[in-house]
Amino acid sequence: MTFAPVLHAEWIKIRTLRSLVAGLLAVLLATAAFSALAGLDDSGGQDFDPLFSVFFGVSFGQIAAITFGAQAVAAEFRGGALRVSLAAVPRRGRWFAAKVVAIGVPALAVGLVTGLVSLLVGKAVLGTRAGGLTWGEGVRGAVGCGLYLALMALFAAGLTAVLRSAVATLGILVPFLLIVSFVIGGMSGGAADFLPDRAGQVVLHETWDGALGPWTGLMVTAAWTAAALAAGAWSVRRRDA
């Protein structure tokens, strides 16, 4: 059994669930809309970062991204669906790898489009206030936005394979992203910089002062994601279906 048919099957499963397609669309809409809203607020003080203003909506778009990743995996843990899947593809490692690719590739594609749209919309809304922003920084932010959203979707996917429930995954990640990270957000530096969302979002800033730069930050997020996926793969392979 080769990889391509398994991947084909997993891709069919993703695109035939309306909620998953809607989730991907929500990544784009939420990110672009909240970025535009953030740009309208011109009360920015000393620490105004035009690049982060352009990508401010990622804080909301990532909720849609993790929902997509969690739901895509959680669909297998309802009503014995996993048994049907693993009876068709008993090589569990291969099956999970196909699932991860079928989640990651569309998440990355939508993430990159989201980055580009947010960049264009955000720059248009900011107008002259985006003056200092170079195209190089803008492209770095857009590509970083795509990578970050895909990594967060996969982080949620791996966690869901361990917890076997989207509710459990979202119950952990959403409060974490919305509350914990905002609360710790004020305290820059230290271990908080290495949290998956804060590390990965450095790439969305024009300037940074922590230990991590744009790409090293994304690599830290990628390490979190890799750990979650490895735990998920281990769980799928070891546990009874």
CB of 21 to other proteins, least distance (A): 11
Distance CA 237, CA 137 (A): 42
Contacting residues for 39 by C-beta, under 8 A, at least 6 apart: 53, 54, 56, 121, 122, 125, 126
Distance CA 215, CA 41 (A): 28
**Range in contact with other proteins (rule: CB under 8 A) among 74-82, 115-123, 164-172, 215-223:** 74-82
Instruction: Write out the DSSP string of the chain.
Output: --HHHHHHHHHHHHHT-HHHHHHHHHHHHHHHHHHHHHHH-----TT--HHHHHTTTHHHHHHHHHHHHHHHHHGGGSTTHHHHHHHH---HHHHHHHHHHHHHHHHHHHHHHHHHHHHHHHHHHHGGGGTT--HHHHHHHHHHHHHHHHHHHHHHHHHHHHH--HHHHHHHHHHIIIIIHHHHHTS-SGGGGGSHHHHHGGGG-S---SS--HHHHHHHHHHHHHHHHHHHHHHHHHS--
**Range in contact with other proteins (rule: CB under 8 A) among 36-44, 76-84, 118-126, 228-236:** 76-84
- Cβ proximity to other proteins: between 40 and 87 the closer is 87
Q: Which of 79, 131, 186, 189 binds other proteins (CB under 8 A)?
A: 79
Residue 13 engages other proteins in binding (rule: CB under 8 A): yes
Residue 84 engages other proteins in binding (rule: CB under 8 A): yes
Residues in region 38-67 near other proteins by CB under 8 A: none
CB of 235 to other proteins, least distance (A): 13
- The size of the interface with other proteins (CB under 8 A), counted in residues, is 28
Q: Which of 8, 139, 171, 183 binds other proteins (CB under 8 A)?
A: 8
CB of 100 to other proteins, least distance (A): 15
Q: Which of 81, 108, 168, 211 binds other proteins (CB under 8 A)?
A: 81
Q: Which of 25, 42, 80, 207 binds other proteins (CB under 8 A)?
A: 80
Residue 93 engages other proteins in binding (rule: CB under 8 A): no
Residue 121 engages other proteins in binding (rule: CB under 8 A): no
Q: Which of 58, 89, 113, 153 binds other proteins (CB under 8 A)?
A: 89
Residue 86 engages other proteins in binding (rule: CB under 8 A): yes
Residue ranges that bind other proteins, judged by CB under 8 A:
1, 5-6, 8-10, 12-13, 16-19, 75, 78-81, 83-91, 240-241
